[in-house]
Structure 1
Amino acid sequence: MCSGNSTPAAELRRSRRTLLKTERTVMISDSVRAIWCRELQRDDISIDEDFFALGGQSVIMVRIQGAFMEELGVEVPMDQLFLNPTVASISAYIESLGAVTQ
Structure 2
Amino acid sequence: MLRLDCPFCGLRDHDEFSYLEDGSVTMPSFTDTSERAWFEAVFLRENPRGKHVELWHHVNGCRMVLRVERDTQTHAISKVEAAHPVWRDMAGTAAKPGRKRKTKAAK
TM-score calculated relative to the size of structure 1: 0.23
More helix by share: 1
Higher RCO (C-alpha under 8 Å, 6+ residues apart): 1
More strand by share: 2
